[in-house]
């Protein structure tokens, strides 16, 4: 699960497979092999031989209370007085809305090829943020950014994904360990399990209406799902919009 810590692992079975090289760096355990089939066999052996200390997470039913309890920060955008607008309204309404985590689905799963040439790194990766990928690689390996080259071939649409960070770092770590270029290709199953999700959202709204049904007060709080489109485009005389971060039990982005 997200946040788990590797307790122990027996890599002997995977290492005994022909052509397989096992790489361990802290909690990172990976392997390289001549074929994707052999790599899948080795990964299966590693997964079965690993023990993890799981991090505590709320259940699906507990998620919304968890997000609300851990909400913090934020600076509201205000117009007029929401309190006075609600007090003067002919009718008030309040509601709480939940939007679940949704897994992104790029046209193809994440993939990268990494090659080291002395202390210079070249990575080919499907990404919509090559400069961010370069920064992540320089941080991961402690090398100047002028020694990192990120090449982005024409690939499918991202649809919320395509940061490219994970596959690029994994490929580079394996390539550095074995001294040869490495292709890292996530499966769709891996991506749906371990890649980042669209953030879950807890939305709290209070609204005040006048006798004609026009909105005269609007109090909007968005917990966890980001600032995008936070403020209402309507001319409401008394409005407040607030975004607050929270503690997400899953990777999100």
Q: Domain ranges for the chain, please list them.
A: 1-56, 63-102+198-244, 105-195
Report the candidate in 32, 23, 22, 24 with the shortest Cα–Cα distance to residue 6. 24
Give the model confidence (pLDDT) of 15-61 as tens digits.
999 999 999 988 889 999 999 999 999 999 999 999 999 999 999 99
Whether the CB-CB separation of 20 and 31 falls below 8 Å is answered with yes
Supply the pLDDT for residue 26: 82
Residues 28-41 have pLDDT tens digits of 899 999 999 999 99
Q: What tens digit of pLDDT does each residue of 96-151 get?
A: 999 999 999 999 999 999 999 999 999 999 999 999 999 999 999 999 999 999 99
CB neighbour list of residue 172: distance below 8 Å, 6 or more residues apart? 112, 114, 116, 121, 123, 137, 140, 141, 182
Residues with Cβ within 8 Å of residue 59, at least 6 apart in sequence = none
What CATH number does the domain located at 63-102+198-244 have? 3.30.365.10
Per the structure block, which two tokens stand in for 34? 């001549």
**Is-same-fold flag (63-102+198-244; 105-195)?**
yes
pLDDT value of position 164 = 66
With beta carbons less than 8 A apart as the criterion, state whether 197 and 102 touch. Answer: yes
Q: Are 97 and 205 in contact (CB under 8 A)?
A: yes
Q: Which CATH class is domain 105-195?
A: alpha beta
Q: Name the CA radius of gyration of the chain, rounded.
A: 24
Q: Which of 155, 186, 156 is nearest to 169 (CA)?
A: 186
Taking residues 192-197, what's their average pLDDT?
Answer: 91
**Distance between CA atoms of residues 18 and 179, nearest Å:** 17
Q: Is 68 exposed, middle or buried (0-12, 13-18, 19+ CB in 10 A)?
A: middle
Question: Model-level pTM?
Answer: 0.85
């Amino acid at each position: 699960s997200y946040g788990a810590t590797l307790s122990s692992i027996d890599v002997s079975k995977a290492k005994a497979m022909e052509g397989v090289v096992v790489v361990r760096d802290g909690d990172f355990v990976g392997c390289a092999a001549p074929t994707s089939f052999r790599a899948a066999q080795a990964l299966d052996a590693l997964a079965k031989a690993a023990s993890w200390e799981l991090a505590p997470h709320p259940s699906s039913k507990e998620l919304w209370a968890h997000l609300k309890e851990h909400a913090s920060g934020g600076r509201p955008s205000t117009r007029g007085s929401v309190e006075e607008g609600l007090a003067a309204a002919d009718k008030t309404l309040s509601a709480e809305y939940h939007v679940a985590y949704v897994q992104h689905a790029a046209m193809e799963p994440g993939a990268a090829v990494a090659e080291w040439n002395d202390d210079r790194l070249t990575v080919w990766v499907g990404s919509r943020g090559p400069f961010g990928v370069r920064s992540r690689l320089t941080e991961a390996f402690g090398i100047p950014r002028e020694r990192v080259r990120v090449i982005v071939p024409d690939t499918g649409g991202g649809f919320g994904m395509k940061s490219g960070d994970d596959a690029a770092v994994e490929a580079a770590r394996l390539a550095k360990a074995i001294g040869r270029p490495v292709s890292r290709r996530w499966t769709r199953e891996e991506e749906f399990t371990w890649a980042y999700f669209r953030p879950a959202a807890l939305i709290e709204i209070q609204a005040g209406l006048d006798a004609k049904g026009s909105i005269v007060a609007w109090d909007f709080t968005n917990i966890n799902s980001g600032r995008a489109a936070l403020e209402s485009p309507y001319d409401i005389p008394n409005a407040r919009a607030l975004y607050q971060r929270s503690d997400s039990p899953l990777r999100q982005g």
